[in-house]
Amino acid sequence: MYGLAVIVGAGIFVAIASVIGRVGPYAPLSFLLAGITAGLTGLCYAELSSRFPDAAGAAAFVKEGFGSDRVAQITGVALTLAVAVAAASIASGAVHYLSVFIRLPPATLVAVLVLTFTVLAILGVRESVLFAAVIGTIEILGLVIAAWAGFLLAPGYDVGSILPTSVDAWQGVVAGAFIAFFAFIGFESLVNMSEETKDPRRTMPYAIIGAILVSTLLYVVVATSLVFSGRGGASPLLDLFQGSYAKLFAAVGALAVANGVLVEIMMLARLFYGMARRRQLPAALGHVNPRTQTPIGATVLAGGIVLVTALLMPFEQLLALANGLTLGIFAAVDIALWRIQKQVPAGNGVFTVPGWVPLAGAAPSVGMIAAAVVT
């Protein structure tokens, strides 16, 4: 539920309008392609989290794969930027829904949102994860209702209209998948909670894979319903509802998107904590408060970075930058697993994937970056 909460909250409520605006009726295929890409890399994260259940996550995996603290630090910096930019873009997207209820300047709403969730992340991991799971349940239910409404409003279901028939159309699908991929960012944050999870070698792989499968199915269904119903524009999900129902869905959207900010701040704080323990960041960031059992210094730093990023960068630039950085990190993690599999055999009880999966995961990540640049 934690994984689903951050994937769904960080994704479709924010990215769906951009994907439909870019590829139109082919949006469901863009989400499917993005889900397949996320699934291949998710399998790599699943094995790595089973081999190395470490709060540093991707930074630890790259260190194990390439044997270099410098490469791990570079990955940590890139991951910091990616998470900060993703959280900032989520916060900016949440304002789109919050403005329906609260008439305040967007910058003020962003600041209140980030500061509130930074405090919640400090209070304790049990409280934070429970909150994320509850909101995740609400947001998933909201998307199911939105999909149902979209299919009811559709004048017909012409499946052929969502299938590309030219090379240019397929290139558009790939470029759309680059933006749609933002809707899957979050599964990797699960590995940063490994040290606070019971039996992570067994449970973490299935949590990652399950979260990606459910979110992919949900996204494709929702995107298909919006395309069939002819919804687009800046708020296609909100446009499915009228009157009080629109306000109710806006409340669900605000909770869903804002929830992603909380989880991203928690992930970034665990990244700082894990890297500090590996002596790749100042030792103060590795201190855990004895009462809250959370890394307060690392959490405050994470919230500060997210807030500054959200206030200084435009939303569209945030979305593209978050995707590019994350896809690059995923490719590095995939290659790291490929190297580890060749050098270190998996122990008993470790979740493993076939040797072709890491390279298959890295290829579409690099391909989507290239397609986005060309487009």
User: How do residues 289-347 score in pLDDT, each as one tens digit?
Assistant: 888 888 999 999 998 988 888 787 665 566 677 778 888 889 999 999 999 999 888 77
Does residue 10 carry a pLDDT above 60?
Answer: no
Q: Which of 187, 212, 165, 232 is nearest to 29 (CA)?
A: 165
- Predicted pLDDT of residue 205: 93
CB–CB of 362/331 below 8 Å?
A: yes
- Coil, strand or helix at 11: coil
- Predicted pLDDT of residue 316: 59
Dist CA 179 CA 176 (whole Å): 5
Dist CA 300 CA 356 (whole Å): 40
CB–CB of 270/192 below 8 Å?
A: yes
Mean of pLDDT values over 345-360: 88
pLDDT grade, residue 225 (50/70/90)? very high
Mean of pLDDT values over 230-238: 77
Mean of pLDDT values over 352-357: 93
- Coil, strand or helix at 345: coil
CB–CB of 335/65 below 8 Å?
A: yes
| CATH classification of the domain holding 175 | 1.20.1740.10
Mean of pLDDT values over 192-219: 90
Specify the pTM. Answer: 0.80
Q: Which of 294, 305, 276, 324 is nearest to 56 (CA)?
A: 276
Going by C-beta distance under 8 Å and a sequence separation of 6 or more, which residues neighbour residue 34? 177, 178, 180, 181, 183, 184, 368
Mean of pLDDT values over 122-146: 82
Mean of pLDDT values over 220-240: 84
- Predicted pLDDT of residue 305: 87
Mean of pLDDT values over 28-35: 92
- Predicted pLDDT of residue 319: 63
- Predicted pLDDT of residue 32: 93
Exposure on the CB side of residue 232, measured as CA atoms within 13 A: 12
Mean of pLDDT values over 116-121: 86
Number of domains in the chain: 1
Q: 335-362 burial, b for 16+ CB within 10 Å, e for fewer?
A: bbbbebbeeeeeeeeebbbeeebbebbb
Q: For residue range 56-78, what is the model confidence (pLDDT) as tens digits?
A: 888 889 999 998 888 888 888 88
Q: 139-154 burial, b for 16+ CB within 10 Å, e for fewer?
A: bbebbebbbebbeeeb
Better-scored residue on pLDDT, 178 or 208: 208
> What domain range is 27 assigned to?
2-374
What's the token pair of residue 218? 């949900």
Q: For residue range 141-158, what is the model confidence (pLDDT) as tens digits?
A: 888 998 999 999 888 888
Q: For residue range 256-290, what is the model confidence (pLDDT) as tens digits?
A: 777 777 877 888 888 888 888 888 888 889 999 88
CB–CB of 80/294 below 8 Å?
A: no
Mean of pLDDT values over 38-58: 90
- Predicted pLDDT of residue 262: 80
What's the token pair of residue 54? 């470490």
